Amino acid sequence: MLLKINKEMLPEALAGIGAHKDSLPIFAHKSEIIPLKLLEVRTPAANIIKQEMLAIGGDAVTPAGAVTCATKYVDVLLLGTLKAYKVLLKKLDQMPYFAIPKVAADIRAALEPAELKTTLADGRVLTYEKMCIMGILNITPDSFYAGSRVPQMDTVVERAGQMLEHGAGILDIGGESTRPGSDSVDGEEERRRVLPVISALRRAYPEAVLSVDTYRADTAEAALNAGADIINDISAMEADPRMAEVVVKSKAPIILMHMRGTPKNMQQNCEYKNVVEEVAVYLAQRAQLLREQGVGSDKIILDPGIGFAKNVQQNLLLMRDLHTLTSFGYPVLLAASRKSTIGTVLGGVPAEERLEGTLATSLQAVYAGAQMVRVHDVQANTRAVRMLEAMLQPERF
């Protein structure tokens, strides 16, 4: 008889064998091959790393011809256990050439991630022992899902209260629809819609965490003054160059989302060689712009931008490989709730019939190691996510 052991079962299985307790971490470090892809490594460094990985029982995949250093930079796919990587890092730490220290730092960061958190400007800290559920409040007449539109003030305050009661950790308030093909509204109209709502929610729910969904620096600044805590920028600060200044000055966290073009024309910009890698590299670069201005990692959240300048297959790849974004040391947000990709996959169902598909995307976010999902249906998503978390970590109960 044989039992197949998954990685969630491994700690209990190791302990149950009866081996000496001090040996358990050693066995755990040998239990799983962890693929890591290094981008644009100096070719001599790639050859050195390959030889070192082979010497310790791992491997490194390099392009044909890399050994001759015909090109200056190559990508490298590493295949090793945690134990192998620890040995590799000890060796790389003795090699101060060919930019190997940067490679070692990247590997170390991926294998030994810091505890993720988000620090608000007022000092409150969001931690991610459990998935954070962000509830959507659209103060618009034309958002793609009619059930998310809350144009009346008394209705939005009531809806927000329900979301908080049902488990929302953040409320995201937006005053402009960014569905594919939508026309923009001017900043004055956007502020007219969202600022009174943010002020009302801050008064009604003083402990709530509020996010403003805007790509305009003026709106973000006014929203923060009205009581918002987080900026959710679909353009990753590209639409308004002053957005970075607002982040630095306010010390408010920002969500950086990947998009090409504008909501009006973005679906004409879906050409990628490798959508997962290109989105990941872009977001890391946008985050680095803030880091160079002194913004800490606890002020940055990454969002791959499901449905923004991506076709159905690209959206599915990004959700499948969402774990790729988790290697940079920033919280990751998945915002796929009721989007058209779900409708297409489920046979053309309208937004009103996409709840089950949305729940599947939220559960995938848990498996991928993301920290946050942005959803229309807070209660259903919270219940589904908490149930999966309980099955993955039953020792908490």
Write the pLDDT tens digit of every residue in 46-95.
999 999 999 999 999 999 989 999 899 999 999 999 999 999 999 999 99
Tokens 């989105």 sit on residue: 279
Which of 374, 383, 386, 396 is the catalytic position?
A: 374
Banded pLDDT at 362 (limits 50, 70, 90) = very high
Q: Pick 22 or 295 by higher pLDDT.
A: 295
- Edge to edge, the sheet with strand 170-174 lists 300-303, 254-257, 230-233, 210-213, 170-174, 132-138, 372-375, 333-334
209, 163 contact by CB (below 8 A): no
Instruction: Tell me what pLDDT residue 16 has.
Output: 84
From 325, 318, 307, select the one nearest 370 (Cα to Cα).
Answer: 325
Mean pLDDT on 199-220: 97
Q: How confident is the model at residue 332 (pLDDT cuts 50, 70, 90)?
A: very high
pLDDT of residue 13: 81
147 band by pLDDT with thresholds 50, 70 and 90: low
Distance between CA atoms of residues 364 and 7, nearest Å: 16
* 120 Cβ contact list (under 8 Å, min separation 6): 126, 209, 229, 230, 252, 253
90 catalytic per annotation: no
- Which of 72, 339, 383, 396 is flagged as catalytic? 339
Is the pLDDT confidence value at 145 over 60? no
Checking if the pLDDT of 15 tops 90, the result is: no
| pLDDT per residue as tens digits for the range 233-279 | 999 999 999 999 999 999 999 999 999 866 766 676 678 999 999 99
User: pTM for the complete prediction?
Assistant: 0.91
The answer to whether residue 374 is catalytic is yes
Helices (H), the chain: 10-17, 24-29, 43-55, 82-92, 100-111, 153-165, 187-204, 217-226, 243-250, 275-291, 312-320, 340-345, 355-368, 378-392
